[in-house]
Chains A and B, each alone.
Chain A
Amino acid sequence: MINFQYVRATDVADAVHRIAADPAATFIAGGSNLIDLMKYDVERPSRLIDITRLPLKSVEETADGGLRIGALVSNSDLAYHPLIAARYPLLASAILAGASAQLRNMASTGGNLLQRTRCYYFYDTATPCNKREPGSGCSAISGLNRMHAILGTSEACIATHPSDMCVALAALDARVHAAGPAGARTIAFSDFHRLPENTPERDTNLQPNEIVTAVELPARGFAANYTYLKIRDRLSYAFALVSVAAALELQGDTIIEARLALGGVAHKPWRDPTAEAALREQAPSQATFNRAADVFLRDAKAFGHNAFKINLAHRAIVRALIQAAAGTPQSQSDKKIR
Chain B
Amino acid sequence: MAQTGTATKPITPAPENIPILLIVNGVERQLRLAPWTSLLDALRNHLDLTGTKKGCDHGQCGACTVLVEGRRILSCLSLAVMKDGAHVTTIEGLAQGGALHPLQQAFIDHDAFQCGYCTPGQICSAMGLIAEGRAKSAEEIRELMSGNICRCGAYPNIVAAIQQAMGQS
Nearest opposing residue in chain B for A336, CB measure = B139
Q: Which residues of B contact A31 (CB under 8 A)?
A: 77-79, 82
Number of interface residues of B (CB under 8 A): 37
Which of A32-40, A55-63, A261-269 contacts the other chain?
A: A32-40
Asked if B82 and A52 make an inter-chain contact with CB atoms under 8 angstroms apart, the answer reads yes
Asked if A100 and B77 make an inter-chain contact with CB atoms under 8 angstroms apart, the answer reads no
**Which secondary structure dominates where chain B touches chain A?**
mixed
Q: Please measure, in the bound complex, the distance between the C-alpha atom of A236 and the C-alpha atom of B146, giving whole angstroms.
A: 6
The smallest beta-carbon distance between B76 and chain A, in angstroms, is 8
Asked if B73 and A106 make an inter-chain contact with CB atoms under 8 angstroms apart, the answer reads yes
Asked if A102 and B146 make an inter-chain contact with CB atoms under 8 angstroms apart, the answer reads no
Number of interface residues of A (CB under 8 A): 31
B116 within 8 A of A: no
Asked if B35 and A4 make an inter-chain contact with CB atoms under 8 angstroms apart, the answer reads yes
Chain A stretch 260-281: residues in CB contact (< 8 A) with chain B: none
The smallest beta-carbon distance between A237 and chain B, in angstroms, is 5
Asked if B77 and A36 make an inter-chain contact with CB atoms under 8 angstroms apart, the answer reads yes
Q: Please measure, in the bound complex, the distance between the C-alpha atom of A52 and the C-alpha atom of B62, giving whole angstroms.
A: 23
Q: Please measure, in the bound complex, the distance between the C-alpha atom of A107 and the C-alpha atom of B117, giving whole angstroms.
A: 25
Asked if A106 and B77 make an inter-chain contact with CB atoms under 8 angstroms apart, the answer reads yes
Asked if B73 and A333 make an inter-chain contact with CB atoms under 8 angstroms apart, the answer reads no
B118 within 8 A of A: no
Q: Please measure, in the bound complex, the distance between the C-alpha atom of A199 and the C-alpha atom of B134, giving whole angstroms.
A: 42
Chain B stretch 124-159: residues in CB contact (< 8 A) with chain A: 125, 128-129, 132, 134, 137, 139-140, 142-148
* Contacts between chains A and B (CB distance < 8 A), count: 90
Asked if B71 and A105 make an inter-chain contact with CB atoms under 8 angstroms apart, the answer reads yes
Nearest opposing residue in chain B for A3, CB measure = B15
Q: Which residues of B contact A50 (CB under 8 A)?
A: 81-82
A5 within 8 A of B: yes
Asked if B142 and A32 make an inter-chain contact with CB atoms under 8 angstroms apart, the answer reads no
A253 within 8 A of B: no
A6 within 8 A of B: yes
B58 within 8 A of A: yes
The smallest beta-carbon distance between A29 and chain B, in angstroms, is 9
Q: Which residues of A contact B82 (CB under 8 A)?
A: 28, 31, 50, 52
Nearest opposing residue in chain B for A333, CB measure = B143
Nearest opposing residue in chain B for A236, CB measure = B146
Asked if B38 and A237 make an inter-chain contact with CB atoms under 8 angstroms apart, the answer reads no
Nearest opposing residue in chain A for B34, CB measure = A3
Q: Which of A31, A102, A332, A335 has the most CB of B within 10 A?
A: A102
The smallest beta-carbon distance between B75 and chain A, in angstroms, is 9
A48 within 8 A of B: yes
Pick from B15, B35, B147: contact of A100, CB under 8 Å: B147
Pick from B12, B35, B74, B147: contact of A237, CB under 8 Å: B147
Asked if B142 and A102 make an inter-chain contact with CB atoms under 8 angstroms apart, the answer reads no
Chain A stretch 312-338: residues in CB contact (< 8 A) with chain B: 332-335
Q: Please measure, in the bound complex, the distance between the C-alpha atom of A262 and the C-alpha atom of B151, giving whole angstroms.
A: 32
Nearest opposing residue in chain A for B134, CB measure = A80
Q: Please measure, in the bound complex, the distance between the C-alpha atom of A100 and the C-alpha atom of B14, giving whole angstroms.
A: 34
Q: Which residues of B contact A100 (CB under 8 A)?
A: 62, 146-148
Q: Please measure, in the bound complex, the distance between the C-alpha atom of A36 and the C-alpha atom of B58, giving whole angstroms.
A: 5
Chain A stretch 14-39: residues in CB contact (< 8 A) with chain B: 28, 31-32, 35-36, 39
Pick from B59, B62, B145: contact of A36, CB under 8 Å: B59
A4-B36, A50-B82, A80-B134 known; A101-B77 Cβ under 8 A: no
B104 within 8 A of A: no
Pick from B57, B65, B134, B137: contact of A102, CB under 8 Å: B65
Nearest opposing residue in chain A for B57, CB measure = A39
* Complex A-B: 30 CB contacts under 8 Å: A1-B36, A3-B36, A4-B36, A5-B35, A6-B18, A6-B79, A6-B81, A28-B79, A28-B82, A32-B74, A32-B77, A35-B78, A36-B58, A36-B77, A39-B58, A52-B82, A76-B132, A99-B147, A100-B62, A100-B146, A101-B128, A102-B73, A105-B71, A105-B72, A106-B78, A235-B146, A237-B146, A237-B147, A333-B144, A335-B143
The 8 closest A-B pairs by CB, nearest first: A100-B147, A6-B35, A236-B146, A333-B143, A237-B146, A35-B77, A333-B140, A105-B71
